[in-house]
Chains A and B, each alone.
Chain A
């Protein structure tokens, strides 16, 4: 790789208008020479402002260098010239996501997906941001008493929406991972002891209570009550939250 870099650098030195700067910039980035890559690409795009691929790559190098504002400017200009540039759309999607502007991020990723529907990276980013957006909406509607005490998890041990916070620490993922085992064991115990289907589990300990239920076959809802909260109160809230969760799950399902 270093030989190739040397050849390209020589060529560029002899012929500064050569388009080999794109390959050289990409190789320098690959070997971790971000400063070199930025310098070569900055020079190149200044000479060839219409070279969309080079500018998209330049945006990536700027992002690597932590120059988010510059990367944003570069990619914005790229999509003005070429609205179908997937790299720039991905980059803008990421920058908006970092800035907490989920709607805008989604818009760029939607565009990227329409151009490259099989791009796994885009698909994953898109579905993650969509879920986050939806979870914000659900948490807002289902948890009027504030976030951090209610979570819906899927049947594979992952949080779907909402979240659990204990002593300022997000415990959602850990709890979600164990919920699958609880739910499976509850179903088995109820069946084998001839108690029919299980409806919910409530636990009480020194630091509070948990209420676990299954709003749908493929989800588990858990509500957490602090030390002063009565289990019966959590149980009542769980009932209405289960209804909301069921509706949300039904709406989210792709036919």
Chain B
């Protein structure tokens, strides 16, 4: 196991430890391919990666057009859950799938702590 993947594993372990988080994937922002993942069965990991990358890219076009620059945080709220995408270092994105009542405020605080420590 490489040093990089050890870091990702630790990061994913901490993210999935947050209450209400169902799974998390580190993905390549441009390719939409999985780099590392920690996700429960029943969810297509490659779908999370491909779709989160595509959504982040499309949202970025919009925020840039609005003069806001690329987003630091994207949240898709749906009827049965939440998909969050955050840009990471070296062209990666962290995608998080959460339950409907996920405490977004707490998630943000925790993610900030985790990302700063990485």
A residues engaging B (CB < 8 A)? 164, 166-167, 169, 171, 174-175, 177-179, 181-182, 185-186, 188-190, 192-210, 212, 222, 224
- Please name all residues of chain B whose beta carbon is closer than 8 Å to the beta carbon of A203 when the two chains form the complex: 59, 62-63, 68, 71, 73-75
Are A206 and B68 in contact (CB-based, < 8 A)? Answer: yes
User: Which applies to chain A's interface (DSSP): helix, strand, loop or mixed?
Assistant: mixed
Q: Which residue of B lies closest to A199 (CB)?
A: B77
Given that A181-B58, A189-B55, A195-B83 are contacting pairs, would A201 and B67 also be in contact in the complex, using a CB cutoff of 8 Å? no
Are B76 and A166 in contact (CB-based, < 8 A)? Answer: no
Shortest 10 CB-CB contacts between residues of A and residues of B: A196-B79, A166-B67, A195-B78, A174-B65, A190-B78, A196-B80, A203-B71, A189-B51, A178-B62, A204-B73
Given that A193-B97, A198-B76 are contacting pairs, would A205 and B65 also be in contact in the complex, using a CB cutoff of 8 Å? no
- How distant is A178 from chain B, measured CB to nearest CB, in Å? 4
- Please name all residues of chain A whose beta carbon is closer than 8 Å to the beta carbon of B77 when the two chains form the complex: 198-202
**B26-39 to A contact mask, C-beta < 8 Å, 1/0:** 00000000000000
- How distant is B47 from chain A, measured CB to nearest CB, in Å? 5
- Please name all residues of chain A whose beta carbon is closer than 8 Å to the beta carbon of B80 when the two chains form the complex: 194-196
Are B52 and A189 in contact (CB-based, < 8 A)? Answer: yes
Are B51 and A201 in contact (CB-based, < 8 A)? Answer: no
Given that A198-B76, A201-B74, A203-B63 are contacting pairs, would A185 and B51 also be in contact in the complex, using a CB cutoff of 8 Å? yes
Are B83 and A208 in contact (CB-based, < 8 A)? Answer: no
Interface size class of B (residues with CB under 8 A): 20 to 34
A175, A198, A203: most-surrounded residue (chain B CB, <10 A): A203
Q: Which residue of A lies closest to B71 (CB)?
A: A203
- How distant is B75 from chain A, measured CB to nearest CB, in Å? 5
Offer 28 A-B interface pairs, CB within 8 angstroms, sorted by A. Answer: A167-B67, A175-B62, A175-B65, A177-B65, A178-B62, A178-B65, A181-B58, A185-B58, A186-B55, A189-B54, A189-B83, A190-B83, A192-B47, A194-B42, A195-B80, A195-B83, A196-B81, A198-B76, A198-B79, A199-B78, A203-B62, A204-B71, A205-B71, A206-B68, A206-B72, A207-B68, A212-B62, A222-B62
Are B51 and A210 in contact (CB-based, < 8 A)? Answer: no
- Please name all residues of chain B whose beta carbon is closer than 8 Å to the beta carbon of A178 when the two chains form the complex: 58, 61-62, 65
- How distant is A109 from chain B, measured CB to nearest CB, in Å? 33
Are B51 and A193 in contact (CB-based, < 8 A)? Answer: yes
CA–CA, A199 and B48, complex, Å: 18
- Please name all residues of chain B whose beta carbon is closer than 8 Å to the beta carbon of A200 when the two chains form the complex: 77
- Please name all residues of chain B whose beta carbon is closer than 8 Å to the beta carbon of A206 when the two chains form the complex: 68-69, 72
